[in-house]
Amino acid sequence: MKKFLSFIFSAMLVVAMTACGDSSDDKSSSTPTGNGGSGGNGGSGGTGGTGGTTELTFDTATKVKDAVKVTLKVDKDDKKPVEFYMIYVKNNDDDVKFPCVGIKKTNGTPAKDATYTKTIGYKFFVAETEVTNAMVAKVLNWALKNGKITKDSISGSVLNYRGVPLLVVGTNNKVTLEKNSSDEVTGFGVERGFEKFGAANIHWYGAVMLSNWITEMVDGNADNIAYSGIPETGTWNGTDTVDNQDKTGFRITRLSEWQYAARFEGTTKPAGDFGDACWTNEKEINNGSDDVELDLTPGYYWLPSNYISGCKKAFNSSDKTTFDNFGIFSSSGPGEVASKEANFLGIYDMSGNVYEWCSDLGYVQGVANPGDENTMGYRHRMGGCYQFPAMMFGEVGTEGSQHPTTNNFHGFRFAKTVK
């Protein structure tokens, strides 16, 4: 009898623990497991199934670091959805002035990677991870089913759209082509085992269209797509593309947003030597040969330019612990996202893995300043990549730009404005 009562008590305890859940994981406690439906205004929302708790949506998230789950389905009958999280980076409309990398001219000569400032006065989310192969394949299958692209859009291993390349598929990438017995393309897949790896070989044009398509895919309409200026017919000129700042659809991170998300270290001074090293409104920084006060917004702490995002020690090429734990560098290919440590906001791989396109026009060395238009349409790319050592572009204060038809080593992550 005692054994029977002991069994009953143990079973009741397990049920009680299951109902209460485990609050040790911040993301799990704020976004419990459940089927998130398609929410309005570009959001993925719905009611979570665990314990009757309501899952966070873009409308109900309130705190910095809140995580909102986005669920991707080709259609309502899709039995294999792909999910990812968006992290609340800035949760107010106050103007915040912070350090941002770029190009400055000194006596008419461009000085690469000088520090200047940007101000953001709106709320926004940034994806927890870079876009993965599984995410790309899911969006492309939706686009194929909904007539956005056709089998004729593929030439060799390149997916084209409006006369420009979007991305590489097939033998040169882990996103693969699925074909029928007549060798006709029927869909997109991912090489087994690489579903959660960072998607590479994406042109800037591809990042734009994946952003617009995922918005329409999640919302069920095109009302909030972020990018316009894309022709219905003819050849797409990238410099005609408009990033509509009043829209709340998914999009590529802007350079300023990327820098904010990579550098932000909170509104309370971090402990120890790292806290002393963080940039604040009270600190002068060395900007080339001059010490400069950046006049930043008081009460915010920022990662210095010579740090890897997430690391609390300045980059040192001889000390692998200053970058190996936080980014994928000097590798033969992209790695699995979120396999390294996250930064302060809970965002992964801001340094390393794949170069991340930004939406802004970049620079052509010796021609343009940051933000200046350039007729070649170069776009900012940030974070370094798997192919090179961390000292080449991995520090948050190192910026690069590339032509939008470049694809080697390039991917991106989603961002999203909220009202």
Task: Identify the pLDDT of residue 374.
Answer: 55
Q: How far apart (Å, rounded) are the C-alpha atoms in residues 236 and 250?
A: 20
Task: Identify the pLDDT of residue 232.
Answer: 93
Q: pLDDT per residue over 151-183, tens digit each?
A: 999 998 999 999 999 999 976 689 999 999 998
Task: Identify the pLDDT of residue 191.
Answer: 96
Asked if 103 and 255 count as a contact pair (C-beta separation under 8 A), the reply is: no
Asked if 9 and 33 count as a contact pair (C-beta separation under 8 A), the reply is: no
The CA–CA distances, whole Å, from 265 to 269, 288, 289 equal: 8, 24, 26
pTM given for the model: 0.85
What mean pLDDT comes out for the span 3-29?
A: 39
Task: Identify the pLDDT of residue 321.
Answer: 78
Type of residue numbered 279: W
Q: Per the structure block, which two tokens stand in for 159?
A: 């997916």
Q: pLDDT per residue over 71-126, tens digit each?
A: 999 999 999 999 999 999 999 999 999 998 865 544 444 455 567 789 999 999 99
Q: pLDDT per residue over 183-215, tens digit each?
A: 899 999 999 999 999 999 999 999 999 999 999
Between residues 274 and 7, the one the model is more confident about: 274
Task: Identify the pLDDT of residue 102.
Answer: 62
Q: pLDDT per residue over 128-139, tens digit each?
A: 999 999 999 999
